[in-house]
Amino acid sequence: MPGGSNSGGVGAPPSPPHAAASAPSRPLRPSRYVPVSAATAFLVGSTTLFFCFTCPWLSEQFSVAVPIYNGVIFMFVVANFCMATFMDPGIFPRAEEDEDKEDDFRAPLYKTVEIRGIQVRMKWCSTCRFYRPPRCSHCSVCDNCVEDFDHHCPWVNNCIGRRNYRYFFLFLLSLTAHIMGVFGFGLLFILYHTQQLDLVHSAVTMAVMCVAGLFFIPVAGLTGFHIVLVARGRTTNEQVTGKFRGGVNPFTNGCWKNVSHVLCSSQAPRYLGRKKQLHSVTVQPPFLRPHLTDAQLAAKVLDNGIQGDLHRSKSSLEMMESQSCDAEPPPPPKPELRYPGLSRESTLLNKAPPTPTMYKYRPTYSSPGKNHTALTHAYANQISRGDSLKESSSLLQSSQQPGFRSEPSLDGREAPGERGGAGLGGDRPGGAGSVGGAPGLGGGGIPGYSLGGRSYPSFSDPTVLSPGAGGASRSSSVRSGSAHNAAPVSEATTSTSYKSLANQTPPRNGSLSYDSLLTPSESPDFEPAAPDLSAPRAPVLGYSSPYLSAQLSQQRDVELHQPSASSVSLLSSPHRAHYLRASSSPPPPPLPERERLLQDPHHSHGHSGSRPPRFSRPPLLSDSAAPHPYPYRTRSTDAPPGPSTHPPRSPHPPPLGKSLSYSSAAAAEMQYRMVRKASASAGAGGGGGGGDEIQMKSFSRTNGQPKSSTSSSGSTPSSPCHPMNLSARPGQAYTGPGNTQSPAHKPGGGVKKVTGVGGTTYEISV
Amino acid sequence: MAETHILQDLQHQAAIASKVYVQRDYNSGTICKFQTKFPSELESRVDKQQFEETMQTLNNLYAEAEKIGGKSYLEGCLACMTAYTIFLCMETHYEKVLKKIARFIKEQNEKIYAPLGLLLTDPIERGLRVVEITIFEDRSIGFGR
């Protein structure tokens, strides 16, 4: 009976229904069926013998209710056994290709999500191509991710998951009852036949009793175990792996609710093998566009591409990269860009999702990062960066036509320029003034434009901003934007905004751009920077036009060496965001330097969080960089190289969305720490020098080669707190989270060293 | 969009531009609930209120499907007593609500999202993990722009 023979229909289970389209066909492994065949054989065989040999006498002797009772219990056992065996446990279908594209090759292996206040990690399943929902686990036997995975039961040759746990539990309960019944009634039989033990009936009954007694102990034990699990609201997987040992189980609702959930909830639906719903809805252009409120438009205008940048498409980034490589004057605007709203949408929409950076950290699952992809942000960035090409020409044009703003293309491109001018000029009213003023500034139109970027959110580095800070900054931007009620000086918006932009009177446009720059002081984030803003400083933070002239870069160099008190105070402000964005003096390393670095096909990814190009460029770097042995997910393996190295760290602003957030946030954090050290130690060396040195080394290691202007300060941190180093450092904050020690080294804080794949060590502040 | 309308005499085709995925909201546990936060990719495509309303209705429907009450209990008892053969003829409560959800999504697509160039995919097709929103773009064929 036992052994390889498949006894009866019950004992010959074909692969359970989950071997449907999305599960790959597995080779037939007869050994998988041994336990289930044995279980089936014992169950059916013993019960049949019991009914044949023991029950007739019992029904005569006592009542017919005995076999009926046993029959009912046995039916229950078989029904639950079949359901547990053949029912789809809750297998997730493999994720589609498109869903995966959003995540990149180097997104983290784990994503955390908060469930009732408790952080739960979701692991990336490389087989199924999604982040496993909480309580989901991948069964290696079945090669499927199963929802609410309990365990893989060999006796039923099936996973026990959400859908069939109830049947498994009831199977255990009923089997225990059945065993007890069979044993009990067999004992009764024997007790009445002590004189006739040589009868066949007695012998069979005794054999059945032995089998029953033998199986009673493990089955009862397992039943008791599962009763406790159900009462506690845990799965076997969680219990055995000790997930909630000493901790709180976020999935429990109390004993009663847990039990009722297992037993009384409606049968969960299967995900595989469903009838494909044909999309009978046809989507035909032309498409309507929603009417955008002013607030929305203003938000769009001023919303820096914090998360949107992270999702920028590869092609758009490449476009920008190529543009940035250009040293020549920009070509005339392409025809498609005359209708920026349309063309940008299509070009941006068409592109594949963001390129992999070396290390994109995805913060808490519920963080806004991922969902803020925003074409708007993409537009903003594309326009600000990609179109910087066109900038100079448009600026020149606009300067020739001071008051004329109604041309969408010019407006779109000019807007940043206007803002740039505003940033520079401060009080200059009107667009004409802003634009006209731009050329008047040192460095010509471009610097003017770039200066504007200082307070223009899109030029800041949103990746560095925490969602909170980012939100704050965004809200401040919105406030300043909405103060002008105008619209949309946003090149990031759709053609509707362009239309509205075009329809506006020039002065409004101009004043809008100016005022939005002037009013950053409204926001708390900007307040410390307000004095700086008013002071016309030449090079600006955050703007990274590839066309930054040498003059400008020199100006930046100068800035580097002249940290002002205000900048230090800014730096020491806890808000990295506005430190990076608003401080005009402590510049990040000269832009051309950075660009060169960025364009360097190096591992260095992420960098100081102050420049917009950061989100655009690092991905390019990472594209050319060799794959890291980091615990981010790869396309092929699922093995975590080690403990997750990207737990959300409290000192950080939770990195936003994808892309550079981790590295730039880390870089920003590092800068922040350095600044604090600097300010704390009043410029004296030592102190946090150790940490800084480590960080500096990490930078230089990451960068791979010493960079010209910053190499001295970068690779040899002689005096980490030296202002020059201090200001230079941020620019150098290329962090290779995988390469080097984690930049999240917190002086004096708990630091956990984690070894990643390839032997790299990370320091994670805990 | 004046620009687009000018081009209406050209042949229009809708092409899939990108997909937005609205993930599950696990704040309240493993109950089926989707984030109602408005994804930024849709900012220019659909009204925020409308979208949030759709998501909220969807969440309410899923809550109704997973509700543990007298109806689901009776269904369970009946199934038990008939050795689960009742599942061969009767539709479970959850399945009934899923059909309702499918109808709701279809209606939303037809009425609201398709005209905007969007398409909502029933999350059950993705294992109730994400709501997939396909963004279509207007690809005009012919000279233009």
Q: Is residue B100 part of a domain?
A: yes
> Which positions in chain B touch A343 (Cβ < 8 Å)?
145
Q: Which residue has the higher pLDDT, A176 or A274?
A: A176
3-state secondary structure of A692: helix
Beta-bridged to residue B24, according to DSSP, are B34
Q: Name which of A260-274, A568-582, A659-673 the model is least confident about.
A: A568-582
Out of A395-404, A445-454, A672-681, the most confident range is: A672-681
At residue A398's C-alpha, the angle toward residues A394 and A403, to 5°, is 155
Query: In A, residues 278-317, which contact B (CB 8 Å cutoff)?
Result: 279-292, 296, 300, 307-308, 311
> Which positions in chain A touch B43 (Cβ < 8 Å)?
296, 300, 374-376
Q: Does position A414 have pLDDT exceeding 80, yes or no?
A: no
> What is the pLDDT, as a whole number, of residue A179?
95
Tokens 């080394």 -> residue: A697
Instruction: Tell me the per-residue pLDDT of B78-95, one tens digit each, with 9 for 90 and over.
Output: 998 998 999 999 889 999
Q: In terms of Cα–Cα distance, which of A628, A626, A603 is closest to A701?
A: A603
> What is the pLDDT, as a whole number, of residue A273?
86
> Which positions in chain A touch B23 (Cβ < 8 Å)?
365, 370
Calpha distance B75→B72 (Å, rounded)? 5
> What is the pLDDT, as a whole number, of residue B29?
86
Confidence of residue A411 (pLDDT cuts 50, 70, 90): very low
State how many domains chain B has. 1
Closest-CA residue in chain A for B137?
A: A346
Q: Is residue B36 part of a domain?
A: no
Q: Is residue B51 part of a domain?
A: yes
Calpha distance A702→A506 (Å, rounded)? 47
Give the domain range for residue B97.
14-31+46-136
Q: Is residue B144 part of a domain?
A: no
> What is the pLDDT, as a whole number, of residue A458?
41
Closest-CA residue in chain B for A345?
A: B137
3-state secondary structure of B140: strand
Q: Which residue has the higher pLDDT, A53 or A307?
A: A53
Indicate yes or no: CB of B110 within 8 angstroms of CB of A350: no
Q: In terms of Cα–Cα distance, which of A189, A123, A136 is closest to A162?
A: A136
> What is the pLDDT, as a whole number, of residue A248?
86
3-state helix, strand, coil in chain B (%, to 5): 50, 20, 30
Helices A550-560 and A723-732 cross at an angle (nearest 10°) of 130
| Min distance A21 CA to chain B CA atoms (Å) | 13
Residue type (1 letter), A641:
P
3-state secondary structure of A263: helix
| Min distance B137 CA to chain A CA atoms (Å) | 7
Mean pLDDT across chain A: 60
Which of A130, A291, A353 is facing B129, going by the closest CB pair?
Answer: A130
> What is the pLDDT, as a whole number, of residue B58?
94
Q: In terms of Cα–Cα distance, which of A378, A448, A376 is closest to A414?
A: A448
Tokens of A145: 């991710």
Calpha distance A43→A45 (Å, rounded)? 6
Percent of all residues in chain A with a pLDDT value above 70, rounded to a whole number: 33
Number of H-type helices and E-type strands within chain A: 29, 9
Contacts of A9 (CB under 8 A, 6+ apart): none
Which of A280, A368, A493 is facing B37, going by the closest CB pair?
Answer: A368
Q: Is A142 a catalytic residue?
A: no
Closest-CA residue in chain B for A408?
A: B3
> What is the pLDDT, as a whole number, of residue A755?
61
Specify whether the CB–CB gap between A269 and B124 falls below 8 A. yes
Residue type (1 letter), B11:
Q
> What is the pLDDT, as a whole number, of residue A431?
39
Tokens 């040992």 -> residue: A245
Instruction: Tell me the per-residue pLDDT of A312-338, one tens digit each, with 9 for 90 and over.
Output: 444 444 444 444 444 455 455 444 444
Q: Does position A285 have pLDDT exceeding 90, yes or no?
A: no
Out of A101-105, A474-478, A506-510, B69-73, the most confident range is: B69-73
Confidence of residue A245 (pLDDT cuts 50, 70, 90): confident
Beta-bridged to residue A108, according to DSSP, are A632
Report yes or no: A705 at the B interface, CB cutoff 8 Å. Answer: no
* H or E element that contains A762: strand A761-765
Q: Is residue B18 part of a domain?
A: yes
Indicate yes or no: CB of A345 within 8 angstroms of CB of B137: yes
ipTM of the complex: 0.89
Calpha distance A410→A395 (Å, rounded)? 8
Distance from the Cα of residue B143 to its chain's centroid? 36
> What is the pLDDT, as a whole number, of residue A444?
41
Tokens 């450092």 -> residue: A729
Phi, psi (degrees; rounded to nearest 5) at A498: -65, -40
Q: Is residue B98 part of a domain?
A: yes
| Min distance A85 CA to chain B CA atoms (Å) | 13
DSSP A243-282: TTTTS--TT---HHHHHHHHHHSPPPPPSTTPPPPP----
Confidence of residue A740 (pLDDT cuts 50, 70, 90): very low
Indicate yes or no: CB of A135 within 8 angstroms of CB of B30: yes
Instruction: Tell me the per-residue pLDDT of B11-23, one tens digit each, with 9 for 90 and over.
Output: 667 677 888 899 9
CB pairs under 8 A between A and B: 235
3-state secondary structure of A206: helix
How many CB atoms within 10 Å of residue A9?
A: 9
Q: Which residue has the higher pLDDT, A133 or A104?
A: A133
Q: Is residue B114 part of a domain?
A: yes
Indicate yes or no: CB of B76 within 8 angstroms of CB of A260: no
> What is the pLDDT, as a whole number, of residue A279?
65
Question: How far, in Å, are A333, A342, A499, B7, B116 from residue A496 at the CA level?
Answer: 20, 9, 5, 15, 14
Percent of all residues in chain A with a pLDDT value above 90, rounded to a whole number: 22
Helices A165-192 and A255-264 cross at an angle (nearest 10°) of 90
Cis peptide before A655 (omega within 30 of 0): no
Instruction: Tell me the per-residue pLDDT of A144-158, one tens digit each, with 9 for 90 and over.
Output: 999 999 999 999 999
Q: Is residue B55 part of a domain?
A: yes
Closest-CA residue in chain B for A112?
A: B26
Instruction: Tell me the per-residue pLDDT of A174-196, one tens digit each, with 9 for 90 and over.
Output: 999 999 999 999 999 999 989 88
> Which positions in chain B touch A84 (Cβ < 8 Å)?
none
Closest-CA residue in chain A for B133?
A: A99
